[in-house]
Structure 1
Amino acid sequence: MQIKLTDHAAEWFKDEMLLKTGDSVRFFVRYGGTSPLQEGFSLGMNKEEPMDPGVEYTKNGILFFIEASDIWYFQDHDLIVDVDEKSDGPIYSYEKK
């Protein structure tokens, strides 16, 4: 699997989370919410250092990652991250590999 961020999403994370070169953002599975992949689970994100990354993607000097323990959630899909213009927040979509 891969993580793919649009340029707009990378800038949004940098601005909203006050990120600088060398920082990292984890996408993680959380209980509750809705998802097209896993009923009863949703995706969250947090600024933190990786412990056991299963997937990594660096854009504009920022590391975006998913821990190996959360890979099950994606069921052979890539994570696509963009920004919703109306809500001015991240939107996640999934692309079957």
Structure 2
Amino acid sequence: MKFEVSKEAAEWYKNEMGLKQGDYVQYYVKLYGGIPTVHPNYSLGVSIGKEGNIAIKDEVEGITFYFNDGNSWFLKEFDMKVVLEKEELDFIFHKKQII
């Protein structure tokens, strides 16, 4: 599993959520509603702060973006990249190839 947040997406989060250096942004799994994903009936939510043990992270522009242990299953078979496209966040999922 690979998780990446682009510099432009990190700047978007900083501006929209009033984040500063050292802050944490957690992605968590939700049933329905929220950021659409590759998992049917599941979506992603986002919150500010550090909760639980960090399982996978990307540190960009002084901000730590992460999934904790309880939600890391979400990326087990996928790589996820958060990018900014036309001033909107886009969540790109790629299924990992098993060799």
Task: State the TM-score, normalizing by the size of structure 1.
Answer: 0.85
C-alpha RMSD of matched pairs (Å): 1.7
Count of residues in correspondence between the two structures: 95
Task: State the TM-score, normalizing by the size of structure 2.
Answer: 0.84
Q: Give identity over the alignment, percent.
A: 27
Runs of 4+ in 1 over 3 A off after TM superposition: 33-36
Tell me, which stretches of 5 or more residues in structure 2 are unaligned?
Answer: none
Deviations 1:52-82 (A, max 9, x none): 1110111111000001111222242111101
Deviations 1:16-47 (A, max 9, x none): 01000000000111111484521111111111
Does 2:32 match 1:11?
no
CA distance in 2, matches of 1:92, 1:81: 5
Partner of 1:24 in structure 2?
A: 24
Conserved 8 A contact 2:37-2:43: no
Tell me, which stretches of 5 or more residues in structure 1 are unaligned?
Answer: none
